[in-house]
Amino acid sequence: MSRPDKQEIKLRRFRIGDYDALINLWEKSGLPYKPKGRDRRDKIERELKSGNAIFYVAEYNGRIIGSVFGTHDGRKGWINRLAVHPEYRNRGIGRKLVSRVEEDLYEMGIDIIACLVEGWNHDSIQAFRAMGYSEFEDVVYFTKRKYPDA
């Protein structure tokens, strides 16, 4: 695979028509996928329309090679679902995607940006540390799910 020039990689807003390519990217990237829950097409489409979602993809030669979902609750922003195709990692694409969401959140007046990374995902942990994120160990994360695949 040829090494793309940074100018050849384009960031743009995610569109629901990108859904199948997005799921393919997540699968290739090793991200867990909940097709019956939060990752369903209709759920993502609803999120896009909510007004608090900032979803970007990175394209190279018309192919989606990266994605990031950002959301906010009016006080705190969240970085979710950062993925870069394995063939394109370590080229600054993830950093570029996260920076774009951070810029959008800061422009909205959101001053705190956080992300949750599962303990097994060492690549993401290292990536977020390298982007200036700090671990906050004083939080115990609780979840309540309507059903297991949510």
pLDDT of residue 2 exceeding 60: no
- For residue range 36-48, list pLDDT tens digits in order: 888 999 999 999 9
64-75 confidence digits (pLDDT tens): 999 999 999 999
Query: Which DSSP helix (H) or strand (E) runs through 99?
Result: helix 93-107
- Residue 106 sits in which domain range? 6-130
Residues 141, 84, 54, 92: is their CA dihedral positive or negative? positive
Q: What pLDDT score was predicted for residue 6?
A: 58
Whether the predicted pLDDT of 1 surpasses 60: no
Please indicate, yes or no, whether the overall pTM of this predicted structure exceeds 0.75. Answer: yes
Whether 123 maps to a domain, the answer reads yes
Q: What per-residue confidence (pLDDT) applies to 131?
A: 95
142 is a domain residue: no
1 located within any domain: no
Q: Report if residue 83 sits inside a domain.
A: yes
1, with CB counted inside 10 A (0-12, 13-18, 19+), is: exposed
Residue 138 lies in a domain: no
What DSSP character marks residue 4?
P
Per the structure, how many domains does the chain have? Answer: 1
Give the mean model confidence (pLDDT) for residues 73-85.
95
More confident residue, 19 or 34: 19
CATH of the domain at 97: 3.40.630.30
Residue 118 included in any domain:
yes
Q: Is residue 137 part of a domain?
A: no
